[in-house]
A and B are shown apart, each in its own frame.
Chain A
Amino acid sequence: NAGVTQTPKFQVLKTGQSMTLQCAQDMNHNSMYWYRQDPGMGLRLIYYSASEGTTDKGEVPNGYNVSRLNKREFSLRLESAAPSQTSVYFCASRGYEQYFGPGTRLTVT
């Protein structure tokens, strides 16, 4: 039982490059989330998925797209990375609590 897993753990991109952050959970949860964490800002919700096949915007969705591939997997895509997207990204799934993955530290130069 791995909980919530995220890949990669670290990534450096150049401005304009694209990438997909992967997230998977093995707890059979319906709801999954993507957050970003910036110094002094706490965690801000980018997108979430209340169930397989549905996604909704959170507080800061601009510049991101998501895919809820199946019940287990929820990916976050940056189509054209910008320095403002330098952050730590957390994926979570929700049962009684929100279970968080270990995070992805992304730097865009």
Chain B
Amino acid sequence: AQKVTQAQTEISVVEKEDVTLDCVYETRDTTYYLFWYKQPPSGELVFLIRRNSFDEQNEISGRYSWNFQKSTSSFNFTITASQVVDSAVYFCALITEEDSGGYQKVTFGTGTKLQVIP
């Protein structure tokens, strides 16, 4: 079975604090892709990052950074010096597929609602 767990339902931080959103996944496949999406109050889904299972390099993009650890099946997301505009729901997602690109399994976590208080 394939599963994505975002155990933190809601997080509140004061502006300029750092915050880490956790994502733990389960899959038996060796090839898979992990994603983070942001859903602001306006409702659209905004792509943040994609990682494939063979690339464990951590990544930093401005105030955002991601820590991918296959040993613990985690793909955590950290926002440094949070801002009010970071307030949103954040989703972690897992996609696995056959090599032929046919059958796919897509699983989203239930999301973490982040509130940044000014």
Interface on A for B, CB 8 Å cutoff?
30-31, 33, 35, 40-45, 48, 50, 56, 58-59, 88, 90, 96-100, 102-103
Contacts and interface: CB of A to CB of B under 8 A. Distances in A.
A43 B108 contact: yes
3 tightest A-B CB contacts, nearest first: A100-B45, A42-B110, A43-B108
A43 to B, nearest CB: 4
A49 to B, nearest CB: 10
B interface bracket (residues with beta carbon within 8 Å of A): 20 to 34
B45 A58 contact: no
B44 interface: yes
Contacts of B43: 88, 102-103
B102 A50 contact: yes
B109 interface: yes
A28 to B, nearest CB: 15
Nearest to B47: A97
Contact of A33 (B47, B102, B106): B106
A48 B104 contact: yes
A30 B110 CA distance: 27
A98 B35 contact: yes
Contact of A97 (B50, B104, B110): B50
B44 A56 contact: no
A11 to B, nearest CB: 15
Contacts of B91: 42-43
A98 B47 contact: yes
Interface string B84-118: 00000001010100000111101111110000000
11 contacts: A33-B106, A40-B9, A40-B110, A42-B6, A42-B111, A43-B91, A43-B108, A45-B107, A50-B104, A97-B47, A99-B47
